[in-house]
Structure 1
Amino acid sequence: MPLRLRFYTLLGGVLAGLLGTGCVRRQFFQPDARLDATAPLPASADSVHGATAGRQYARHGGLYNALVGRHHRPTWAAPVAAPVLRLTSAHPGGLTPGKVGGGFNSTSLNLTGTDGRAYVVRTVDKDPIRATPELVRGTFLVNVLRDNISSTNPYAALVVPPLAAATGVPHASPRLFYVRADDPSFQTDSLRHFRGQLAYLEEKAAPTTPPPAAVINSTKAFAAAFASPEQRFAPTDLLRARLLDGWLGDWDRHPGQWSWAVVRPTEAGPATLAPLPKDRDMVLYRLDDGVLGWLIGHVFLRHWATFAPQFKNPAGLMSSGHYLDQRILNGLSRAQFQAAAVAMQQRLPDTLIARAVRRLPASAFALEGARTIAALQARRAALPALADGFYLGLAKRPRIGGTARAERFTIRRYADSTVVIVEPLATGTTAPLLRRAFLPAETRLIQLEGLAGDDVFTVEAHGAKPASKPAIRIYGGAGHDEFRAAGGSRGIRFTQESAPAKRAYDKPPEE
């Protein structure tokens, strides 16, 4: 049994004792967001008052909260006001329903506007039952996982847009609505979870100016970048987005949480793959305010990082995005990480932070506003330290790859550093894919992968005593590669084989 499932079994056993049940609770979720749902909602109603995102999370007593954690339970139960969703008027020209979607937790409905853009409406509350194995779906473990949704702040996504805009990170602009239980657009069985609940409406991909040539998912984006140097990621854009993730405490940043805008600055030049963050559900996450919650976040699942004035576990906080970070940020220097952090600090004044947090509904702001503002201010001061630790973690074992085309890898050994340059061999494409100096104090091993194509690997020695560290492991991959060592080859190993699949640069992302 996996460690995570073993832990949840233990945790579920404890909670089952507290709750007096060992089976999944059939009526876990609130039947309707409106506190006065027994009174009919007039057909002409434009808004509702006294709606809750999920008051079922606040039904526990003091012992339960001390053991598991209070989390954001009061905010889930706080009454808020919200406009009533009408697809015909929520967007100019109306919205046409499409396919039902959603990840392991949320339910969503894809929509199309008259402007041709894609939109989505998704439930504020989540049901993680789809993330559990079939074997345990009828057991107390489902209760445990469902209750853990209380660790999220249901309205945190509303805080993000002005902060992202100020830092130059693309963002969605979610709007909170109430879905009528009798709305004819939501009467199919697949949309039953929307009825009588709060939901967010937003554009499906974060809009950019000018509009991109296309928007693709991570699987397609990395496949394109692995295939040709004509498709390149934008590392400084991703670094900015990842520092924003860390500052906001958004730890769930795996490849499936990103789309990519295909931007063509010129007809002849390469296309840029610019990051478009999605799904800000884990912003302001709070887990470790109970005994068992603390154990989860600090021992068992350390990437489930609690948002607090201090960065409690920065390595765990940033770890879910490691696939992207390791392949896109490997050409950036320590100074560039620091510069990005300082620039972000300057773009996030106290007045902006206060204005962003006040986008929370009034009742939620009364509960969380003051300490959220104070925590964001404290974390802003620590952004350079977060960026430096982030850089050093990635610098230990950088993984650098070419494409399916032919590239030249030049390794220059100096007394105090090793410079790696990767550039296309094709005539007319002179811009390097990467040029970076690595220091022995920061880097232990550099893994270079030629992937496909007839690549050339050249080692040059500069100075009387060129460095032998960091070690360099070269995998030629498919094709007929050439390895040239004009001195300075100590610590360098070349093999024509491809890298092991589990550690390969071109391993497809898991979305």
Structure 2
Amino acid sequence: MKKVSIILLGVVIILIGLIYFSVSGTQKTFETCTISNFEELQSTNFRNHDSVLIAPSTLYEANLLKDLVQGSNYRNAWSEKVKFPIVFLDTLYGGMEIIKEGGGKQTHSLKLHSKNDIIYTLRSVTKDPEKLIPEIAEDLGLENIIVDGISAQHPYAAILAAELAQALDILHTHPRMVFIPKQDVLGDFNEKFGNRLFLLEYETESKTNWTSLKNVSEIIETKDLQKLKFETKAKISVDQEALIKVRLFDLLIGDWDRHAEQWGWVIQKSDRGNIAIPVAGDRDNAFFNISGLIPSIITNKNIEPLVRPFEKEIDHMPGLVYPFDRYFLSNTSEEMFIKQASELQKNLSDKKIGKAFEAWPDEIRKLNEKEITDKLKSRRDKLQEYAAQFFQQIQEQGKLSEALKGSEDLELSSSQLACFECDLEN
């Protein structure tokens, strides 16, 4: 018994040593893209060129030990060199005006206003997780556990998600990847935003209709949708079938990060009043591929149920149901979910899946297309089963008693907090 204890202790010590050696291999917490075909960036006039060769980030390059301990994830996609178009804001869509700096906990972003009165956003492809690093991790020199987790995100996820959405007639923000060199229009933002790789896409709020839908008055965010209904007393309803469809699409592509602030709403006028049609923004976590010893422990469903890996099967449905779903979809039926799942299965053919990957550079397709395709097909084939589980989880978790994320400062009654269609007070 004593020998066994000594052996186990030795194994634990070795394991801890390997983990510490793996995560302490790099001290960097943030790095922008790596530009390969221009050595002297300061003296390069990018207006004389139309493209640039870039690796989105070399920060996640790893040896065999790091792959084992922290996962192989999408490291190769991050470090693969790909050619991207060069964009200047003073000529983009007739000229862009910077409205303000935005961004969440990891993403650097700028909101832009175009000459045709449409709002766009530039969202950094490389992420800055410094705000997410706990003090204890810094004290122990283990910041890389958090930093390296970004390698589970695919740098081209939003592009593929948009192509699949387009094939299924689902609204999306039409993202494209562009290189923004330092330029006069950026002004004080040059240091933070110049010479970087971005996703350029429509913003999920706009006074001008950028969708293909007719009779659209505006595009607003979730908080403003609530204000429109509850403060102005406007007659408005959510297109629940469209929302069910896009939420099942989220299950297909493994996008687990779908809180209320990740959505916009296209307000369409009709004889029955206004109809709010959902449009998803921020697809950073689609196809989220996490592996390795440390990430597998951290994302165990009993430890972190909300962060779910993109595998052939969905491993924990309760973690994929957000307060957003309970708020907007509690007054629906299982039949509605099954119907949308059946239509998605029918419409997302193998041919359409293959066609969607044509939006990716050949270099990236060679790395990840087969693995992602196999997982997509597996999830598609089980989608009706998942749809039933998703609906059941919404019903089990019930209506809300707290505000949606981003709506905490709204003064809402208990019925208005409970769900969008609720009227418990009357």
For the aligned pair, the TM-score class normalised by the smaller chain equals: 0.7 to 0.9
Q: 3-state SS of the aligned residue for 1:264? A: strand
Deviations 1:442-478 (A, max 9, x none): xxxxxx8624xxx2xxxxxxxxxxxxxxxxxxxxxxx
* Cα pair distance change 1:390/1:274, threshold 3 Å: same
Matching residue within 214, 234, 246 for 1:210? 214
**Residue 16 (structure 1) shift:** 4.2
Give the alignment's Cα RMSD to 1 decimal.
2.9
Match of 1:76 in 2: 78
Match of 2:408 in 1: none
- 1 CA distance for matches of 2:237 and 2:17? 49
- 2 CA distance for matches of 1:238 and 1:78? 35
- 2 CA distance for matches of 1:241 and 1:337? 11
Matching residue within 88, 91, 97 for 2:90? 88
Q: 3-state SS of the aligned residue for 1:271? A: strand
Map 1:487-506 to 2 at 5 A. Answer: none
Matching residue within 246, 252, 272 for 2:251? 246
Letter in 2 for 1:67: V
- 2 CA distance for matches of 1:141 and 1:122? 27
Residue 193 of structure 1 pairs with residue 192 of structure 2:
yes
**Residue 400 (structure 1) shift:** 8.7
Matching residue within 285, 288, 302 for 1:285? 288
**Residue 15 (structure 1) shift:** 4.7
Deviations 1:373-423 (A, max 9, x none): 22211211111111011011122354399x989x9xxxxxxxxxxxxxx9x
- 2 CA distance for matches of 1:191 and 1:242? 37
- 1 CA distance for matches of 2:192 and 2:100? 15
* Cα pair distance change 1:20/1:174, threshold 3 Å: closer
Letter in 2 for 1:78: E
Deviations 1:314-354 (A, max 9, x none): 332x23xx212112212221111111100111111111111
Among the aligned pairs, what percent are the same residue?
A: 24
Q: 3-state SS of the aligned residue for 2:35? A: coil
- 1 CA distance for matches of 2:179 and 2:240? 39
Residue 309 of structure 1 pairs with residue 312 of structure 2:
yes
Answer with 1 or 2: which has the greater Rg. 1
Q: 3-state SS of the aligned residue for 1:285? A: coil
Contact 1:80 1:362 in 2 (8 A): no
Q: Choose between structure 1 and 2: higher helix proportion.
A: 2
* Cα pair distance change 1:30/1:229, threshold 3 Å: closer
- 1 CA distance for matches of 2:51 and 2:245? 37
**Residue 230 (structure 1) shift:** 1.9
Q: 3-state SS of the aligned residue for 1:55? A: coil
Match of 1:350 in 2: 350
Match of 2:12 in 1: none
- 2 CA distance for matches of 1:332 and 1:282? 27
Match of 1:262 in 2: 267
- 2 CA distance for matches of 1:399 and 1:315? 15
Letter in 1 for 2:309: T
- 2 CA distance for matches of 1:285 and 1:277? 17
Residue 339 of structure 1 pairs with residue 339 of structure 2:
yes
Name stretches of at least 5 consecutive residues in structure 2 with no aligned partner: 1-14, 402-410
Q: 3-state SS of the aligned residue for 2:113? A: strand
* Cα pair distance change 1:131/1:211, threshold 3 Å: farther
Q: Choose between structure 1 and 2: higher strand proportion.
A: 1
**Residue 205 (structure 1) shift:** 2.3
Residue 149 of structure 1 pairs with residue 150 of structure 2:
yes
- 2 CA distance for matches of 1:12 and 1:262? 54
Letter in 2 for 1:88: D
**Residue 154 (structure 1) shift:** 0.2
* Cα pair distance change 1:233/1:116, threshold 3 Å: same
Q: Which gives a bigger RCO, structure 1 or 2 (Cα 8 Å, sep 6+)? A: 2
* Cα pair distance change 1:271/1:134, threshold 3 Å: farther
Map 1:407-486 to 2 at 5 A. Answer: 450-451=424-425, 455=426
Name stretches of at least 5 consecutive residues in structure 1 with no aligned partner: 1-10, 408-421, 423-432, 435-447, 456-511
**Residue 262 (structure 1) shift:** 2.2
Letter in 2 for 1:282: N
- 2 CA distance for matches of 1:128 and 1:162? 28
- 1 CA distance for matches of 2:299 and 2:376? 20
**Residue 217 (structure 1) shift:** 1.9
Letter in 2 for 1:127: D
Contact 1:357 1:373 in 2 (8 A): no
Using the TM superposition, name which of 257-266 and 385-394 deviates more. Answer: 257-266
Contact 2:32 2:57 in 1 (8 A): no
Number of aligned residues:
389
- 2 CA distance for matches of 1:187 and 1:138? 36
Match of 1:98 in 2: 99
- 1 CA distance for matches of 2:153 and 2:33? 20
Deviations 1:190-221 (A, max 9, x none): 45333322111111128431263222222222
Contact 1:358 1:369 in 2 (8 A): no
Map 1:377-392 to 2 at 5 A. Answer: 377-392=377-392
Contact 1:29 1:54 in 2 (8 A): no
- 1 CA distance for matches of 2:279 and 2:190? 27
- 2 CA distance for matches of 1:20 and 1:396? 43
